[in-house]
Amino acid sequence: MSRIITVGAAQLGPIQKAEPRSSSVARMVRLLERAHKRGVELVVFPELALTTFFPRHYHEDAAEADSWFETAMPSNETAPLFDAARRYGTGFHLGYAEIAHEADETGVVRPRRFNTSILVGPEGDVLLKYRKVHLPGHAEFDPKRVVQHLEKRYFEVGNLGFPVIRAPMGGLNGINMGMMICNDRRWPEAWRVLGLQSVELVALGYNTPSLNMEAGGFEAHHLRVFHSHLSIQAGCYQNACFAVATAKAGIEDGAELFGHSIIVNPQGEIVAMASTWDDELITADCDLDLCTLGRTTIFAFDKHRRPEAYGRITEQVGAVEPVEWKKPAGR
């Protein structure tokens, strides 16, 4: 009996700095309604889906950025999304900026700020939470940059690892679901930690500038999308899983984000792709049994992985210089 779930990437067009959450939530409810009509059982919304990509804006006093964060989920503003999902029996993934009052590693309870995503089940339960681990960009204002990318200023590094949960979704009584956020997709370690927990479906939201804002060197424009798709397709192939990767796209207050949301299968094939940079729903039927081939043959981790050779991956942060070859004496 095949295990098929119909998924949707609910891509969002731009959210301007002045756009209230009521507007972005209403747009997401409309996408959820469209998804319901198309039989979609799990909808993946983008990273930071409720507001503009605010890390492009510098706030001298980081507390000024708190208006971009959610202190409760659901809240009055996001309740319509939860209500609609429950009404349709549709699960969803949502990315948002989270303020949580919890103890830090020293035991001090304080407000902590994360780039967060949640998986919500068909009855409105929060099944899983993830907090972005790989924060790109910088923490201080960078005058060289065309556009700032201040995720290191506004967010702490995620402290939940890369969890996977097996939970009911759609018509299935259990699928193995995990999450990552945006820049995480570029790091194979993130995919492999999920793969080592037998993930079958990765929900991934992103907000990615269409041009290299770092002014750190030439990068041809077409490579922006290529690198995004390459990372996701490789992650799915090498961990025998599906991914639903959903963009927030378009021009936000003059800054352009690319779309090209995709759904990828365990062979690394793109099975659906968005064609606009606006609110757009793409869907696919995912037969989770397609994960079996990879994880019982070429990526049967228990048969083929050699952790004793992988020490550098967790022992080192940055790269070290290699050993210098010396010509043997007398040669």
Residues that bind ligand ING (CB under 6 A): 136, 182-183, 186, 206-208
- Distance in Å, CB of 232 to ligand ING, minimum: 11
The residue assigned the tokens 């599906």 is 242
Pick the closer one to ligand ING by CB: 51 or 207. Answer: 207
Query: CB–CB of 62/154 below 8 Å?
Result: yes
Pick the closer one to ligand ING by CB: 130 or 206. Answer: 206
Cα–Cα distance measured from residue 290 to residue 177, given in angstroms and rounded to the nearest whole number? 15
Concatenating the DSSP letter of every residue in 46-79 gives -TTTTS--GGGS--SSGGGGGGGSBSSSS-TTTH
The residue assigned the tokens 């967010």 is 155
What is the layout of strands, in order, in the sheet containing 4-11?
126-131, 109-120, 91-103, 42-44, 4-11, 280-287
Under DSSP, the state recorded for 248 is: B
Cα–Cα distance measured from residue 223 to residue 209, given in angstroms and rounded to the nearest whole number? 12
Pick the closer one to ligand ING by CB: 35 or 133. Answer: 133
Dihedral Cα 110, 77, 206, 239, nearest 10 deg: 80
Pick the closer one to ligand ING by CB: 104 or 219. Answer: 219
Pick the closer one to ligand ING by CB: 214 or 287. Answer: 214
Catalytic residue among 41, 47, 200, 252: 47
Pick the closer one to ligand ING by CB: 226 or 310. Answer: 226
Nearest to 228 by CA among 178, 195, 264, 185: 185
Catalytic residue among 70, 129, 132, 291: 132
- Distance in Å, CB of 187 to ligand ING, minimum: 10
- Distance in Å, CB of 55 to ligand ING, minimum: 7
Q: Among positive and negative, which fits the CA dihedral 79, 45, 117, 69?
A: negative
- Distance in Å, CB of 136 to ligand ING, minimum: 4
- Distance in Å, CB of 64 to ligand ING, minimum: 20
> Which tokens sit at 306?
């050699």
Cα–Cα distance measured from residue 327 to residue 317, given in angstroms and rounded to the nearest whole number? 31
Is 182 in the active site?
yes
Pick the closer one to ligand ING by CB: 208 or 265. Answer: 208
Catalytic residue among 41, 98, 182, 200: 182
- Distance in Å, CB of 38 to ligand ING, minimum: 27
Q: What share of the chain is helix, strand, coil (3-state, %, to 5)?
A: 25, 30, 45
Cα–Cα distance measured from residue 304 to residue 329, given in angstroms and rounded to the nearest whole number? 39
Is 286 in the active site?
no
- Distance in Å, CB of 261 to ligand ING, minimum: 13
Q: Which residues are catalytic?
A: 47, 132, 182
